Structure 1
């Protein structure tokens, strides 16, 4: 086994480290500090809670902005900034912030956001703050034992998993169908592409960036982060690009996976793996609608997820089919170049205004993030709470609620009114657009989007919004169910992904020889915790069924939980000389029964909208009903009682080679 390279440094990882600021530079930076964050830093560094009591206690934020002043009087703000300067200079910027007990971290965050944060979140918050480790304790693999892991996919989850294997000294290979790192952030390059989650949260907890150029980073800068991380960690050197796994079959006799790999240019390879990890995710295969005549259009037809940079939109009539996340980013980004843009909408989306969406960070902000002990961590925790688990309540149905057609509980109704007011304000002079743009289903029925100037764009004279269904395409034109013909030079398909066909392109056969696709069907994937599947020994899914966080936050956090779960199982396999682990059918079924019951009480069962979350029978396949806190607790430590375990010494006995059906 090749020895692992040095792991990336924990904590903050600036693209280019900057010198420690001088007194004057620090004073100038503190003038731009977010006061709720700075007050929490003061309380953390000094242990003095007076900074979280009157007259310094920050108020609760209204809306989604950063609440930079904390609601404090200007004179009090100045006092806080001056005190912070004195404290930081006295203790030094290179002295790490002291360790805190988890309960204390929850207490400080509670004061910082001025709202309830359950004490049960303390340990999760401590991990996010870097106060306690999230890594599994993996013993060295004994000499003479072969343990090789193959990861399918070099997107975010695959990269996270590979870094943790690298750090643990476990041999691995990453197989990636693309020719670069990043998964969806490698593939999606359409104009305007970027995150709809704050940049501070959209990075690994162990490799945070303090120097993002924007509060909501764009695609190219984010992709560069993944590439840098893969190179610095050694993962890029162990990744085989242009290699797509087409089939995987469990060999019970040899206790390994046998893989068929399309290596490109007509070449196929056969590989083996002791452990197989799928990191292909849910959003990796574009969904192309079946529209009569699409092949006869004559001009460019491009999907947002497979963008062709050679397509010139300047002076062109562009037809955009779809109004999801990619369309909401794309359309405002192309209208100044295109001659005319026609948007074809199946159903309207709720869009949330966010003051930071187009906001650039300043050198002062980046100085605070990189050099003030604890500042970046506490800022991230505030964002995690406000964008992550606080909105979870908005997805939970109150069965006694009096207006279930338009909202699902009191908080949902408040949000509906707020968002309705925003749309009405944006379209106040265009009643025709308002009628088309105001959703009739409750917020969070589909994941709310961030308003990228969408409504202002729709008001333009050179933009049309069409709500009649597209029925066909002919040379240079799109036709609707209302009989309208719209001429176009370019068609853009902003129609999302085949999210329900999880692991769909691969033929996977487990211990019984049964094809996984036959067990799941075309659109009904299930897994225990979204990670393990009966009949598939030593097989793990990252971003698998029912792990999409529909209430907000970032899938990166979920992926870190899942990677830790996998690493804990691998640690047990190494420590206890275990050859295979395979989730029991009973444990899998019990979990999925609980999961389905919890999902029945979520907004995604609401009949008022269509969504890719549900399959053809109405079951929610992609989304999780759990909060981050819930899922963290469920995945923190695997329960070995949930698994069939075969020790290496017994792995080849007749009793241990029974089929999965007999074992369940």
Structure 2
């Protein structure tokens, strides 16, 4: 995404000396069209765990041969002496990918189409409309985070007029609002980016907040969508006017002035991690020191020499505490339940300049490195999360594979805790691995064993001016109180009032915490209203939000395309289709680990229904959203139903 001068021959040789050979072999096979790079003696061995496996397990002389020949081939390509071969067909991609990941990885043949799109050799976009063809049609997007920007980019490319309303004074959503120390992504950076805007210049394998926000800034500028974003406008309501087949959207500026927008379609891109959840603890307002939620961090706060109390041990706490412990005098962590922390060799690693050169200079290297992550951090894990009704130990795991993960992770946590055996019952969960959102270990367990850190597992009973009181009556003194209790993920769309065809609001339709949508995207009674990252679209088994967003945006774009081509003024999901999908969804969810009774999780609502993750693989969802079926919708033109 940034212009860089071409690498010198010496820089390219140095970069190839660091290359991940399983990735390089795939890139060479695609560049040359020569299958010999996929046969012995070049077939990699299986990696261990989550490692990149740079050597591929190949003998030293084979490694040297591959790197030397790679230089000659890339040099020929750069000099114009080699034209890239035709890309492999989608049916070959699963076999190529499986081979690069070792013989124990059998990748289903049917996912070839998804892999081809992610690799960029198959189209995912609609054909752009002729300029002016959609001048009488306008789309309104709520939010300018990852999903809002993706929708804006695709509308811009399709020549469909749109406007983005953003409540903040800058774009970025989650990656604008969250600025706490250690804040970053727990999905590999090269995967946590769009297939159409892959970034060769990530400086960390798991990027931190500032770099992620910079990526989004460059997206907005590079695709010319910033001019269509209205900042400082918070949407208050959206009301469907059937006589016009349009939404009337009321927003309020940061100056308090109201403004109305009229749109043919509305895309909700507010996500589900944007409204902080604050605990109801007696006396919390009486605390005399600094108090803040992690999502509302004060970057000017000086923690040097201060006693910090952190309530919560979810994703933000696991990033925050290791990042502040060297600055604070003492950190006390209040834990309701322990979390499984996943080790990854790249968790704290920088991406070397040489590796960034590979990503920029070697054709297809970045795409294949990313594609390996699509599988390794995605559908590979799905079987481990499915309940085996015949498994004899349902208290500790949901199937044999899940139990193997439990044993591995338990041993890992114990090794990180070292001689602090007193911490084992506090840090090793009793529920099955992945029952809650799996978290990347950023040094959490090693931090817990420090003398200047206290892990408290007694319930918080009250907060007073100078500290936190736990249920055992102990007072824990503090100068700073950090609330790390996550977000109101179940209150989809938060305070926005959306009123549909019948006059009912979405909140009345759903209740407080039971959001449902066909494919997570559309709801009966709310024509031309589309959700991105809506209910039950989070790939809880693993994957990238960027992949889910692209699939959902493609679905919406193809619906809009059909509307414009056929003169359709409104599409509304049929109630029977919505109910049938909901029944299939709930049945599948009840067979997943998230239905396990052994833990509390924000994935489930007050009635116990699973509202956040989807039960299927990324491929399943790709297949479901690849082409919208107009038979699933009640469609109307300006002259009546069709």
TM-score by length of 1: 0.94
Tell me the equivalent position of 1:35: 21
Q: Which runs of 5+ in 1 are unaligned?
A: 1-12, 657-664
Q: Residues 167 and 293 of structure 1: is their aligned pair in 2 closer, same or farther, counting only changes over 3 Å?
A: same
Residue in 2 that maps onto 1:402: 392
How large is the RMSD of aligned CA atoms in angstroms? Answer: 1.3
Aligned to 1:105: 93
Indicate the residue corresponding to 2:579 in structure 1. 589
Matched, 1:134 2:124: yes
- Where 1:337 maps in the other structure, the secondary structure is coil
Cα contact 1:138–1:567 (8 A) shared by 2? no
Query: CA offset at residue 264 of structure 1?
Result: 2.0
- DSSP-derived class of the 2:247 partner: strand
Separation in structure 2 between the aligned mates of residue 142 and residue 56 of structure 1, nearest angstrom: 53
Deviation at 1:21, TM superposition (A): 2.2
User: Aligned equivalents of 1:24 and 1:271: distance in 2?
Assistant: 57
Distance 2:128 2:618 in 1: 25
Cα distance, 1:137–1:467 mapped onto 2, change above 3 Å: same
Which of 47, 71, 83 is the aligned partner of 1:85? 71
Q: 1:365 to 1:52 in 2, by over 3 A?
A: same
Distance in 2 between residues matched to 1:142 and 1:188, nearest whole Å: 39
2:373 counterpart residue number: 383
> Distance in 2 between the 1:96 and 1:514 partners?
57
- Supply the distance in 1 between the matched residues of 2:606 and 2:221 (Cα, whole angstroms): 42
**1:21–1:592 CA distance, 2 compared to 1 (3 A):** same
Q: SS at 2:378's partner residue?
A: helix
Matching of residues 138-287 of structure 1 within 5 Å: 138-140=128-130, 143=133, 146-287=136-277
Deviation at 1:648, TM superposition (A): 2.4
Q: Which residue pairs with 2:53 in the alignment? A: 67
The alpha-carbon distance between structure 1 residues 103 and 143, as it changes in their structure 2 partners (threshold 3 A), is closer
Does residue 1:577 correspond to 2:567, yes or no?
Answer: yes
Bigger shift: residues 43-52 or 358-367: 43-52
Which residue is equivalent to 2:317?
Answer: 327
Q: Retained in 2: the 8 A contact 1:138–1:568? A: no
Per the alignment, in what secondary structure is the counterpart of residue 225 of structure 1?
helix
Structure 1 stretches of at least 4 aligned residues deviating more than 4 Å after TM superposition: 93-97, 141-145
Render the CA deviation track for 1:619-663: whole Å, top value 9, x for unaligned: 001110011100000000000000000012337xxxx9xxxxxxx
- 1:57 is paired with a residue of what secondary structure? coil
The structure-2 alpha-carbon separation of the partners of 1:613 and 1:396, relative to structure 1 and needing over 3 Å to count, comes to: same
Question: 1:143: Cα distance to partner?
Answer: 4.9
Question: What does residue 556 of structure 2 align with?
Answer: 566
Matched, 1:646 2:624: no
TM-score of the superposition, structure 2-length normalised?
A: 0.98
Count of residue pairs brought into register by the alignment = 638
C-alpha separation in 1, matches of 2:286 and 2:31: 66
CA contact (8 A) 2:135 2:161 kept: no
How many angstroms apart in 2 are the aligned matches of 1:118 and 1:55?
A: 24
**Structure 2 CA distance, aligned partners of 1:405 and 1:299?**
42
Q: Secondary structure at the match of 2:197?
A: coil
SS in 2 for 1:28: helix
Counterparts in 2 of 1:199-598, with a 5 A limit? 199-598=189-588
Provide Cα deviations, 1:479-522, integer angstroms capped at 9, x if missing partner: 00111110000000010000000012111110000111111000
Q: CA deviation at 1:287?
A: 0.2
Q: Tell me, in whole angstroms, the C-alpha distance in 1 between the residues paired with 2:418 and 2:324.
A: 24
Asked whether the 8 Å contact 1:500–1:524 carries over to 2, the reply is yes
Aligned equivalents of 1:138 and 1:395: distance in 2?
A: 40
Tell me what 2:8 maps to: 22
How far, CA to CA, are the matches of 2:37 and 2:381 in structure 1? 27
CA contact (8 A) 2:44 2:58 kept: yes
State how far apart, in whole Å, the 1-side matches of 2:386 and 2:155 are: 37
Q: Distance in 2 between matches of 1:63 and 1:150?
A: 44
Secondary structure of 2:190's match?
helix
Q: Is the 8 A contact 2:307 2:479 kept in 1?
A: yes
Partner SS, residue 165 of structure 1: helix
